[in-house]
Each structure stands twice: as structure tokens, then as C-alpha cells.
Amino acid sequence: MYYTIGQSTYWYEVDGEGIPIVMLHGFTGSTKTWQHVKSAFGSGYQIIAIDLPGHGKTEATHVKTMEMCCADLHALFQSLGFEKIHLVGYSMGGRTALSFAMTYPSMIQSLILESASPGIADEAERHLRVAADEKLAERIERDGIQAFVDYWQDIPLFASQKNLPLRIQQAIRRERLTQTAEGLSQSLRAMGTGAQGSWWDRLESFERPVQLLVGELDPKFIATNKKMHAALKSSKMIVCEDAGHAIHVEKPEIFGKLIEEFIDSVTDKK
Ligand SMILES: C=C(O[C@H]1C=C[C@H](C(=O)CCC(=O)O)[C@@H](C(=O)O)[C@@H]1O)C(=O)O
């Protein structure tokens, strides 16, 4: 379904009925990211998957900063009649989910972050990241999506995905190849890790339950999430054995079970 707000149109998909669980994909992803996870949830849940700006069927017609995207998502959730949601985000989607939760905490029943970060606290480091993301955006625009996907699928962060069955690796590649150079380059510039503000000095103010999921084979994000875990008032951190950055791809059953168990543990049983 499409939701239009102002001059922007978002694509989202709704499966099932019941407690709303909103799922946000990562950079180069789409609603398809969650296709093997949705089935892990029992009855009684409504799964809402959304294409973030510049991805899938949510075109990059206008620049969307993290703040603008979160405001649009808030309007979408209100239009759907949601008072409280369980919000799940993977990587870029995790940064978006955390930004949404920090901006609209009263709408959060629980927050599940997979391989995410709160941005970059150090200004100099953040400026370096903005410059690196700008170079990557220019590379995408210059060389096109196929050349970018060839490069992206081989970065060390996704090394563990080489052990996946070929059909799964090919499905991830196909999803990435459906993106547009305009969409991905704009996403990097407007919602990239360096472009967004840092939430590091605000994490301790967030009081809703948080589940931090990281892969055992993803040392960079284990280190980041250990610091997040220490800063958050109410969080659980789980390091998933024999999984890399994209736990939902490498261990979909375990990923779905961990989320369902966490949501059940924080849902008012009335
Ligand atoms: C390479 C780094 O940063 C990127 C890594 C992961 C994020 C992501 O969403 C990737 C999803 C995927 O391709 O499976 C992405 C983001 O958060 O926007 C980062 O650009 C790194 O080492 O930090």
C-alpha cells in the first residue's frame, strides 16, 4: 500500500492482525528483507514492513533527512491508528528505529535493534564519515547499481554471507539490484551514519525496553552495542552465535524467535 504525506509517498506492507510490529530494513534493502522472518511470528501480531526513502517502492523524490523520515513515519503510524508499536530495525533501519524512538518515545512499546548504532558522537569522526559516504554516493552515481552491488556484497562486514546457500546470496543480490543509483546515493547523503545526528548523549534518557541483537562475527557492532547496552536504562543485548551483520538473513528462525520472545516478555498480558 502507498501512504502519501506532503510530496512524499511511502510503500508499506501489512501482514496479519493484532499487536503491531513495524520492521525497517537496512541500506540497499526493502520490505523483502523480512520475507523469511514474518512467518516466525505466531498469530496475534500485525507485521508492518516499510520501504525507507530511496529504497524499494519509496522513491527518492525529495531529500529525506533522518528527522524528516521519522516525522513521516510518525504520521503514517497515526494514520494507521497505532498508539504503541514494537519497532524493529536492521542496520540503517536500526538507526532509523532508534531515531524514531528517541523522538517519539511514547509510541514505543519496545525497540529491537539489529546491528545498529546511535550515530557518531565525535564530530571529527562524523565529518570523516560524511565525506566517506559522499565518495560512496558519487561512486554509485558514476558506476551504477550493478558495479556498486558487486563492491558492496564483498565488503568485510558481509564476509559471513559467503557461507550462505547460493540461492540466499542470490536473493540478497537481487534485492540490492532492484534499487536505484539516485535512491541509494540520496539515502547515504541524507540518512547515512554520518549525516544523522548522534544519540549517544541521549540514550540514558530512553526508558522503554530495548533488545540489542548483534552477530558473533560482527566485532565492530558488538563493540558499539556493548556501549549502547551500558548507556540504556532498560536493554538486553544478545550476541547471536555464528552470525554476521545480517542475523535475520543468516539465522532467520533464531532471529524471529528472539524477537517474539522479547516482545512477549514486554507485552502487557491483559
Ligand atoms: C560499512 C559500514 O556501514 C554500512 C553498514 C551497514 C549499514 C546497512 O544498513 C547495511 C545493510 C546491508 O547492506 O545489509 C549501513 C547503514 O547503516 O547505512 C552502513 O552504511 C560500516 O562499517 O559502518
Give the pLDDT of the chain (270 residues) as one tens digit per residue: 999 999 999 999 999 999 999 999 999 999 999 998 988 887 889 999 999 999 999 988 888 999 999 999 999 999 999 999 999 999 999 999 999 999 999 999 999 999 999 999 999 999 999 999 999 999 999 999 999 999 999 999 999 999 999 999 999 999 999 999 999 999 999 999 999 999 999 999 999 999 999 999 999 999 999 999 999 999 999 999 999 999 999 999 999 999 999 999 998 644
State if residue 99 touches ligand 1 by the CB under 6 angstroms criterion.
no
In a domain, 98, yes or no: yes
Whole-number Å distance between alpha carbons of 194 and 192? 5
Candidate from 99, 148, 157, 175 with most ligand 1 atoms within 8 A of CB, to mutate:
157
151-154: long-range contacts, CB 8 A cutoff, minimum separation 24:
152/28, 152/176
DSSP 8-state class, residue 118: -
DSSP-derived secondary structure for 201-235: GGGGG--S-EEEEEETT-HHHHHHHHHHHHH-SSE
- Whether the CB of 97 sits within 6 Å of ligand 1: no
Asked whether residue 176 is domain-assigned, the answer is: no
Q: Strands (DSSP E) along the chain, which ranges?
A: 2-5, 8-15, 19-24, 45-50, 85-90, 108-114, 210-215, 235-240
Q: 68 is in which domain, residue-wise?
A: 2-120+197-266
What's the pTM? 0.98
- Residue 131 falls inside a structural domain: no
Nearest residue CA, atom 10 of ligand 1?
A: 27
Does residue 130 fall inside a structural domain?
no
Q: Note whether residue 251 is domain-resident.
A: yes
**101 within a domain of the structure (yes/no):** yes
The CATH number for 238's domain is 3.40.50.1820
Residue 220 lies in a domain: yes
d(CA 166, CA 53): 29
Probe target for ligand 1 pocket from 27, 96, 154, 214, with the most ligand atoms within 8 Å of CB: 27
Residue with cell 547471536: 240
State the ipTM, two decimals.
Answer: 0.98
Judge whether 184 lies within some domain.
no
47 lines ligand 1 (CB under 6 A): no
Residue 77 CB neighbours (<10 A): 22
Query: How many folded domains does the chain comprise?
Result: 1
184 lines ligand 1 (CB under 6 A): no
Q: Helix or strand or coil: residue 174? A: helix
CA distance 253 to 23: 16
246 Cβ inside 6 Å of ligand 1: yes
Q: Is the dihedral of CA 236, 240, 245, 246 positive or negative?
A: negative
